[in-house]
């Protein structure tokens, strides 16, 4: 079985500041890792995912996440945030060889202030 812990429920930050949203996972098997974003009053959208290969994965809008197997982490970072990044971010895991249902963390609300 897998589980995901997002350590911060809310992260307030000023515009153009860097941000890190933390995610740790637990699993007895190898995993695939995902970050989804939920903008206000919308469904979830995939931001990026780690399947294999390079441990650093990037999204098209400047976010990146690094898979760290020894620390069982998949933290999401952005060097300079915009007001439009205000949303809730969910880390999710799926065990290799398991069914497709995702195990989500509780989410982190990122609030970017001007």
Partner 1 sequence: DSGVTQTPKHLITATGQRVTLRCSPRSGDLSVYWYQQSLDQGLQFLIQYYNGEERAKGNILERFSAQQFPDLHSELNLSSLELGDSALYFCASSPDFGGSTDTQYFGPGTRLTVL
Rounded Cα distance, 74 and 55, in Å: 9
Is 96 a binding residue for partner 1 by CB under 8 A? The answer is yes
Member of 43, 53, 60, 114 binding partner 1 (CB under 8 A)? 43
Q: What are phi and psi of 85, to 5 degrees?
A: -80, -5
Rounded Cα distance, 57 and 87, in Å: 20
User: How many residues at the interface with partner 1, by CB under 8 A?
Assistant: 25
| Nearest CA among 46, 42, 75, 74 for reference residue 60 | 46
Is 46 a binding residue for partner 1 by CB under 8 A? The answer is yes
Q: How far is the CB of 45 from partner 1 (least distance, A)?
A: 7
Q: How far is the CB of 102 from partner 1 (least distance, A)?
A: 7
Binding residues for partner 1, rule: CB under 8 A, are 32, 36, 41-46, 49, 51, 90, 94-107
């Amino acid at each position: 079985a897998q589980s995901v812990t997002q350590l911060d429920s809310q992260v307030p930050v000023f515009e153009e500041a860097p941000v890190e949203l933390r995610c740790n996972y637990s699993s007895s098997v190898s995993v695939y890792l995902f970050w989804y974003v939920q903008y206000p009053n919308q469904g979830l959208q995939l931001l990026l995912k780690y399947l294999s290969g390079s441990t650093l994965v990037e999204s098209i809008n400047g976010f990146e996440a690094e898979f760290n197997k020894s620390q069982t982490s998949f933290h999401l970072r952005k060097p300079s945030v915009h007001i439009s990044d205000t949303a809730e971010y969910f880390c999710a895991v799926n065990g290799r060889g398991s069914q497709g249902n995702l195990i989500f963390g509780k989410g982190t609300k990122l609030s970017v202030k001007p």
